[in-house]
Structure 1
Amino acid sequence: MVYAQSVRERVRDDLVRLVHRGMSVQSYWRAVSDALDGAVPSEGSCLMTMDPATMLPTAEFVENGLPADSISRLVDIELREPDYTKWVDMARAGTTAASLSDATAGELDLSRRQREVRRPGGYSDELRVVLSSSTGTWGALTVFRETDSPYFSLSEVRFLSSLTGLISDGLRRALLLDDACADRADTGMLVLDPDDGVSLANREAEQWIDELGIGERAGTRLPLVIRSVAGQARAIAGRAEGIADVRLARARVRTQTGRWVIVRASLLGEGLLAPVAVLLEAARPAEMAPLLADMYGLTQRERQVTELVAQGLPTSQIANRLHLATYTVQDHLKSIFAKSGTGSRGDLVARLFFDQRATSLTALSAVPLHNSSQGA
């Protein structure tokens, strides 16, 4: 047990470093697969990127997977027919990871894709992971085992579930970096040398810097948030193995015009002298909900109530879900309305979730906050 825990801690450390190393999506997937294999052995893996608006697959990266002529049937089942642990069903249920063996109670052939496609191809259990964050579902990871291998354990499922946010953040960074390099997205990208000198900047990055402002301190070349996030990326890359630092190199900041931007940083290579890529992207509505909850001072329980309100649950169901008395939920709602300055559930949802979609206010997705003032 102690050995297994140490292996998993090492895998988590490796993933933190990978998230902050600027790589293409394909390179990131291969590195993540290699890291995970140390704690959750498998005979193959598949990473799919998805359109977060529709959850339709947009690209796939496969190692030791099924032949191409089997994919059409898998897609048909996924999009049109009922089956176990489908991606959309997992996302709607808030399930981040699930094994086919657990979902079918060990009767894998209850799954249509298993009996029609996977078993004839020599595969047994699979473990699916939905790669979601506050910005949406950007992809999905599957690891799978062949016929003679044991099923995935519940411990392995829980471990991968605990890594979802971390792996998702790395995928989002890789997608942004690919798009920025290809000039396909409204994403600002800076490349900084070890002294925070700008060696490359696209037009969008220059616009974000102008909007953020650099402050009035003599000699300042970049907004403080960019220097802070770049420094955190270097610190993560250089920290000793096993020394926990859950702060990701990412921050939300409000510009001088009132817009919010997400700033992320990753090393382009290895070592402390490697250049750092800094990505700047307009914050999506769902990303702002946890921040607004912080600003209103909602307690952990009030956040849980708010999430369920945003999902459309009535007071009685919220009480059942949280194991509370109905009047206790009503008291929480009164407090939430008072703190947020809202007068109804509809007003609350509109205030916290601009696009009317619930997001997690309780997950460990909070990131450091900055404003555009450059005092330090």
Structure 2
Amino acid sequence: MTAVSPERVRGQIDQLAVAGLDWQTFGRTATDLLNRAMPFAASCFASVDPATHIVTANVKSGCLDDDHDIEWSYHEYEVEDLYDFRSLSSAGGGVVTLHSSSGGDLERSRRHAELFAPVWDFSDELRVTLRVDGVTWGALALFHGDGRTFTTAEQAFVASVSEGLARGVRSGLVAAAVGDDGRPAPSGPAVLVVDASGEVAQANLGATERLADLGCADLEASELPQIVKALVAAARRMSTTPGASTPRARMRTDGGHWIVAHASPLISRDGGRPDVVVTIDDARPPEIVPLVVASYGLTGRERDVVALVLQGIDTGDIAQRLHLSAYTVQDHLKKVFAKVGVRSRRELIAQVFNDHYVPQMAAGAGLAPSGWFAGS
């Protein structure tokens, strides 16, 4: 394969991001382009729920396979490690590598010691969250083998293309939302009980149809969609974390329908690893439309603050943009929380379906009195 300059690849990715591709096709093509500018042994390009930063689906290259998604989800959501995608996104994004995070002692990472090294013999991992306009739309992991590590130049190059990659994921989700394949949406929710070993112990009659719409051929543990595996792992982590919120994610199915999935751990009688109940259902209007701010009786200034909060802008920058003091912004937020019935920014953002709201805001669309965007 002929090497291509990083500058040329960066331009190609920016062009690809506005080509109207679905996000999976964009991810595969963009990853191939990256590999022409810098070597790596394998990659995982993932879509992420903007509200929870939970991985909902992925496309892989190289030696990576789908056979170890359960183990990956366990290490990503249940086990404390040096880093994970959610903590990286919450910190504002950026690039991190296993070698630098561990100080060269890779065994400090359980994910590496128990999965990456024994299964694939990777020698380094590079991660980056794909963010644009303050919102995380995807995530990318690259891997080296044969003792190689990611250089400073490679890390800087990946950081430089991350926004273009994010725009491509976002555009791909929006493009997919314009139409579907004409298949009828499954009727009724799916309810699964996943036992301690990761197997489906029970399922209702609607589960097979729902899972088929997520590309799942049967109820075997290895066949479960990535979103289910991730939520199960996050629910088990929740069971040992006081005050943790119920894991939840939204995504489009193969048939073009928006769904919302929840996972809750059951109480284990013997104190062992809990079974987890997973519910998958159609995304209701509160899940897929913006918060109807007018219905909560927010003032004009409170709506201005909410609009900026939903873009991921911190208190200091909100104060600067609205020419207010940070104290006044906090006061507005307290009133908003009380009116909406939430306790934090995170809970507020969780009520908004960012796949629809954020692109409109990024385009500068104003809010109409209905709470939706003017002209939409």
| TM, length-normalised to structure 1 | 0.51
Name the counterpart of 1:101: 99
Shift in CA distance, 68/170, structure 1 to aligned 2, threshold 3 Å? closer
CA contact (8 A) 1:310 1:349 kept: no
Q: For residues 54 and 99 of structure 1, what CA distance do their matches in structure 2 show? A: 22
Displacement after TM superposition at 1:307 (Å): 2.6
CA contact (8 A) 2:130 2:165 kept: yes
Shift in CA distance, 345/157, structure 1 to aligned 2, threshold 3 Å? same
Name the counterpart of 2:29: 31
Q: Specify the code of the residue in structure 2 equivalent to 1:307.
A: D
Q: For residues 140 and 351 of structure 1, what CA distance do their matches in structure 2 show? A: 34
Displacement after TM superposition at 1:106 (Å): 1.6
Name the counterpart of 1:222: none
2:311 is aligned with 1:307: no
Name the counterpart of 1:64: 62
Q: Specify the code of the residue in structure 2 equivalent to 1:133.
A: V
Q: Specify the code of the residue in structure 1 equivalent to 2:129.
A: V
Q: Specify the code of the residue in structure 1 equivalent to 2:124.
A: D
Shift in CA distance, 352/62, structure 1 to aligned 2, threshold 3 Å? farther
Name the counterpart of 2:132: 133
Displacement after TM superposition at 1:133 (Å): 2.6
2:345 is aligned with 1:356: yes
Name the counterpart of 2:173: 175
SS of match in other structure, 2:64: coil
Name the counterpart of 1:79: 77
CA contact (8 A) 1:340 1:348 kept: no
Name the counterpart of 1:124: 123
CA contact (8 A) 1:342 1:348 kept: no
CA contact (8 A) 1:119 1:147 kept: no
Please list the CA deviations of residues 153-183 of structure 1 after superposition, one character each: whole Å capped at 9, or x if unmatched.
1221122122222110110111121232217
Q: For residues 58 and 152 of structure 1, what CA distance do their matches in structure 2 show? A: 26
Shift in CA distance, 37/336, structure 1 to aligned 2, threshold 3 Å? closer
Q: For residues 315 and 365 of structure 2, what CA distance do their matches in structure 1 show? A: 29
Displacement after TM superposition at 1:348 (Å): 5.6
Displacement after TM superposition at 1:352 (Å): 11
Aligned residues: 230
Displacement after TM superposition at 1:26 (Å): 2.0
CA contact (8 A) 2:54 2:86 kept: no
Q: For residues 73 and 19 of structure 1, what CA distance do their matches in structure 2 show? A: 32
Displacement after TM superposition at 1:96 (Å): 2.0
Percent identity reads 26
Q: For residues 129 and 46 of structure 1, what CA distance do their matches in structure 2 show? A: 11
Name the counterpart of 2:295: none
Please list the CA deviations of residues 288-343 of structure 1 after superposition, one character each: whole Å capped at 9, or x if unmatched.
x9xx79xx9xxxxxxxxx835489xxxxxxxxxxxxxxxxxxxxx7x777x34997
CA contact (8 A) 2:93 2:130 kept: no
Q: For residues 7 and 352 of structure 1, what CA distance do their matches in structure 2 show? A: 49
Q: For residues 345 and 367 of structure 1, what CA distance do their matches in structure 2 show? A: 21
Name the counterpart of 2:20: 22
Q: Specify the code of the residue in structure 1 equivalent to 2:130.
A: L
Q: For residues 283 and 160 of structure 1, what CA distance do their matches in structure 2 show? A: 32
CA contact (8 A) 2:43 2:64 kept: no
RMSD (Å), alpha carbons: 4.1
Q: For residues 134 and 367 of structure 1, what CA distance do their matches in structure 2 show? A: 7
Q: Specify the code of the residue in structure 2 equivalent to 1:356.
A: R
Shift in CA distance, 367/75, structure 1 to aligned 2, threshold 3 Å? closer
Shift in CA distance, 348/336, structure 1 to aligned 2, threshold 3 Å? farther
Q: For residues 29 and 335 of structure 2, what CA distance do their matches in structure 1 show? A: 40
Alignment of 1:158-173 (within 5 A): 158-173=156-171
CA contact (8 A) 1:84 1:111 kept: yes
Displacement after TM superposition at 1:345 (Å): 3.1
Please list the CA deviations of residues 215-260 of structure 1 after superposition, one character each: whole Å capped at 9, or x if unmatched.
xxxxxxxxxxxxxxxxxxxxxxxxxxxxxxxxxxxxxxxxxxxxxx
Shift in CA distance, 282/135, structure 1 to aligned 2, threshold 3 Å? farther
Name structure 2 gaps, 5 residues minimum: 183-287, 293-300, 350-360, 369-376
Q: For residues 181 and 141 of structure 2, what CA distance do their matches in structure 1 show? A: 30
SS of match in other structure, 2:56: strand
CA contact (8 A) 1:138 1:172 kept: yes
Q: For residues 68 and 336 of structure 1, what CA distance do their matches in structure 2 show? A: 45
Q: For residues 53 and 180 of structure 1, what CA distance do their matches in structure 2 show? A: 21
Shift in CA distance, 351/7, structure 1 to aligned 2, threshold 3 Å? farther
2:9 is aligned with 1:11: yes
Q: For residues 134 and 32 of structure 1, what CA distance do their matches in structure 2 show? A: 20
Shift in CA distance, 141/183, structure 1 to aligned 2, threshold 3 Å? same
Shift in CA distance, 369/80, structure 1 to aligned 2, threshold 3 Å? closer
Q: For residues 21 and 11 of structure 1, what CA distance do their matches in structure 2 show? A: 15
CA contact (8 A) 2:41 2:143 kept: yes
SS of match in other structure, 2:345: coil
Q: Specify the code of the residue in structure 2 equivalent to 1:71.
A: D
Name the counterpart of 1:145: 144
Shift in CA distance, 340/283, structure 1 to aligned 2, threshold 3 Å? farther
